[in-house]
Amino acid sequence: MPDGLTISGGGSYAVASDALFADAEALERVRDGVAVVAESVARIDGRTGDGALRRAGAPASAFAAEVEIERAVGLLAATRWKAAALALSLHAAAEGYGRAERASQRVAQELAATLGFGLGRMLPVFAALVVPALPPLVAAALVAGLLVPGLRHRAGVATGDFLTRNNRLLTNPVTAALVRTSVMSIDDVVGGAIGLPPGVVRALGDEGAGVVGLDTSAAAILALAAPAGLLVESAVTTRAGTQRIIAASPRGLAQRFDRMPERFRDGNGVARGAHIRIDRYSTPHSPDRFEVYIAGTADFSAGAGTEAFDLTSDVAGMAGLPAGSVRAVEQAMVEAGVTAETPVQFNGYSQGGLIAVILAASGDYATHGVFTAGSPTAQVDMPPGIPVVELEHTDDIVPALGGMRTDVDAVVVEREAFAGRETPPGVAVPAHGREEYRATAALADGARSAMLASTIDRLDDFGVGATSVTSTTYVAERALE
């Protein structure tokens, strides 16, 4: 594939390259065009049949022309049939591949669930063997920490250095697929560990009724971490930053991605940038519309800090709980003037994409569209009828943390970011980089798939006609006690 894009969704189980979908759509246009020409030729044939020519005393050459016209009608009919058959075959191939892929994912999920349950069953035995050795190990760790100041920090730095030097371990479609399957099996491990019968675990889990799954597993992680003072939610405050007038609404995914805010720390450790950007589209005699852009995770530590877009919000969001970052965006929207009836579109990168789909799926807003990039959104089902485009890299473990996809309505554009090229040094998960997703957005803008192009057009239409666009940024912080 020249651009490496794979497209799926749009209400179908079909999965294929952009080129295959484009070829199928081109054949359908040929089919329809030939049908129009064939109808015109058939009308001519009806007016110049043998009977009409004889009554008019036409020369022999006219009768020869009539034979050629009838031959053309036959050729056009055959061409139309072949184009239709080829287009149908390409769509069927894409549909078959998609269903086969889903079936293979289902088998992998079933196998992972079985292995996870078995691992859970072994955990009590393992704990019985390990627990007696814990006191001396803990004592040794405490002594080492006292004798070697900063040991814990050094261990963390060493782990980070190892991952950045060997980032191919994480930047790999196989690793991402394993992560996607593994996160779906956490509930099976827990079920096995607490001694539930396998039939009960299966019936309650993702393979059954879905009572427990990725969201309950994330909630359990929060509960287990809380006693240690980790992953603890808190109140958040949001304040407006800069405000400016901009030229127009975005056209295409790349321009949309360029408007995503970024929160980061400079070389001196000072926090810079914004978490949220809200663009207000004003049009005379029409209600204002709002476009919301949401940044990714700014702090990956599990401890308490001032960042609202942190690891705690990541886990809480995946648990379906009111994450600090979600509440921060809601506060910014209220301050901007967004109500339940206000037309709004959501855009987000990484954690920002998760927030975008959570807000869109909540039903609390008049959502007109969603665009995400590199986000763990696979388990969030969107309301039907809303145009949704999601970009994912198959060698990026971050979207894989969202588990197996359940929604087929969103148009999903996939690409292996580092297929056939070296990963850059010094970055642990380069496939998750903003520059890589910006490149994928640009490729998606140039894709030939009519399904993808029409969905992007629907997102772009939201801002058409605005005579004034006012952009405001917001910063969110946790209120520490």
The ranges assigned to domains in the chain are: 19-102, 111-228, 236-478
137 Cβ contact list (under 8 Å, min separation 6) = none
pLDDT at 95: 83
pLDDT at 108: 78
pLDDT at 1: 39
Taking Cα atoms as reference points, which of 271, 395, 376, 229 lies closest to residue 314? 376
Order of strands across the sheet that contains 343-349: 12-17, 6-9, 411-415, 388-393, 366-373, 343-349, 286-294, 276-283, 468-478, 236-246
- pLDDT tens by residue, the chain, 481 residues: 345 899 999 888 888 888 888 788 888 888 888 888 777 766 765 555 555 545 555 555 655 656 667 777 778 788 888 888 888 888 788 788 778 887 887 787 788 788 877 887 887 776 666 556 556 655 665 565 556 566 455 555 566 577 677 788 889 999 999 999 988 888 888 888 888 787 887 777 776 666 677 888 899 899 988 998 899 999 999 999 999 999 899 999 999 999 999 998 888 888 889 999 999 999 998 999 999 999 999 998 888 789 999 999 999 999 999 999 999 999 999 999 999 999 999 999 999 999 999 999 999 999 999 999 999 999 998 888 999 999 999 999 999 999 999 888 999 999 999 998 999 988 889 999 999 999 999 999 999 999 999 999 999 999 999 999 999 999 999 987 6
Helix (H, G, I), strand (E, B) or coil at 455: helix
pLDDT at 446: 95
Q: What angle do CA 352, 472, 365 make, to 5 degrees?
A: 55
Q: Which two tokens stand for residue 307?
A: 């960042």
Position 300, amino acid: F
Q: Which two tokens stand for residue 425?
A: 């040094």
Whether 449 and 7 have beta carbons less than 8 Å apart is answered as: yes
274-290 as b/e: b if 16+ CB within 10 A: bbbbbbbbeeeeeebbb
Taking Cα atoms as reference points, which of 176, 139, 97 lies closest to residue 402? 176
Q: Which two tokens stand for residue 77?
A: 């009919």
Dihedral over alpha carbons 459, 465, 466, 467 (to 10 degrees): 160
Distance in angstroms (rounded) separating the CA atoms of residues 353 and 357: 6
Taking Cα atoms as reference points, which of 240, 260, 241, 238 lies closest to residue 328? 238
Q: State how far the alpha carbon of 454 is from the alpha carbons of 10, 95, 373, 411, in Å.
A: 11, 20, 18, 11
Helices (H) and strands (E) in the chain, counts: 16, 12
Segment (H or E) for 280: strand 276-283
Helix (H, G, I), strand (E, B) or coil at 65: helix
CB atoms within 10 A of CB 327: 20
